[in-house]
Structure 1
Amino acid sequence: MSELFNNFSSSIVFLHVISAVIWVGGMIAIRFAVHYSIQEIEEPKIKLGRTLENLRRFFNMVIPAILVLLITAIIMIIALGFKGTELYTIVIVKEIIWTVMTIIFITIYMKRNKAQKAFNSGDFANAKNDLLPIATYYIPANIILGIVAIFLGITLRGF
């Protein structure tokens, strides 16, 4: 891993950072731009359909970013030899944050799929109920956690 990182450190760090930006930045865009613009749609069926489609497209973009983030994190943790150093605590905290974020993401993914099934069967009330906690709780929680993790990553790179 050390040789891999030494030969491709700029690319690995870039992929790691851009993956975090795609994930966290995508959630910020969805929550504070797309969400509010969709609220202006008056027809409930169209509003739900657009929300489901936007989340589907978001997942297509974010799932690869999450995988790249995980792979590059493992490479950097091993190659930079954080284990046994005073910085390892920060690494562990970042791992915990990204793990919690991934669990929340999986929850969002499952809720969206459940909402899609309800929508497809014409059960718009349940589709709406399945989507509501995504915008209200899950995405805001992941935005906050993601910003903290990015800050910790910058702290690690500064040492």
Structure 2
Amino acid sequence: MSEFFQNYSALIVFLHVISAVIWVGGMIAIRFAIHYSIQEIQEPKLRLERTLENLKRFFYMVIPTILTLLITAIIMILALGFEKSSLYSIAMTKEIIWTIMAIVFITIYLRRNKAQKYFKIGDFEACKKTLLPIAKYYIPLNIILGLTAIYLGVVLRGL
């Protein structure tokens, strides 16, 4: 694993960093740009429809980056020998954060799918109530966690 990492370290680190940027940056764009833009839509049904569609497209974009992030993290932890290093606790803290983020992401994914079912049957109030915690709690939580994990990654690379 160490030799593999040495041969492809720039590519592995790049894929790891760009995956984090896409995931966290995508959430920031959704929460602080797209969310407020959608709130300007006057017709509630159209507002819900656009929210559901934006989340679906976000999922298509971010699921591969989450998998790439996981794979590259495992490669780096093994190849760089963090398990035998004083940096291991930082690396593990970072990976715990990404794991929590993945669990929150799965929660968002499931809530979005449930909201889509409500939307299809015309229960727009239930759809709205199902989506509300995503914008209010889950995405902001994941943004904070993601920025923290990125910072820890910078700390690890700088040491």
TM above 0.5, one fold? yes
Task: Quote how far apart the aligned CAs of 1:85 are.
Answer: 1.1
Provide TM-score, normalisation by structure 1. 0.99
Provide TM-score, normalisation by structure 2. 0.99
Q: After TM superposition, where is structure 1 displaced by more than 4 Å over at least 4 residues in a row?
A: none
1:108-156 deviation line (CA, Å, top 9, x unaligned): 0000000000001101000000000000000000000000000000000
CA RMSD, aligned part only?
0.4
Alpha-carbon distance in 2 for matches of 1:126, 1:26: 26
Residue 150 of structure 2 corresponds to 150
Unpaired runs of at least 5, structure 2: none
Alpha-carbon distance in 2 for matches of 1:53, 1:128: 14
* Structure 1 segment 72-151 matched on structure 2, within 5 A: 72-151=72-151
Alpha-carbon distance in 1 for matches of 2:2, 2:126: 50
Unpaired runs of at least 5, structure 1: none
Alpha-carbon distance in 2 for matches of 1:95, 1:54: 27
Alpha-carbon distance in 1 for matches of 2:2, 2:47: 49
Task: Quote how far apart the aligned CAs of 1:48 are.
Answer: 0.1
Task: Quote how far apart the aligned CAs of 1:25 are.
Answer: 0.1
1:15-73 deviation line (CA, Å, top 9, x unaligned): 00000000000000000000000000010000000000000000000000000000000
Q: Which amino acid aligns with 1:116?
A: Q
Aligned length, in residue pairs: 159
Task: Quote how far apart the aligned CAs of 1:84 are.
Answer: 2.1
Alpha-carbon distance in 2 for matches of 1:140, 1:72: 25
Identity %: 72
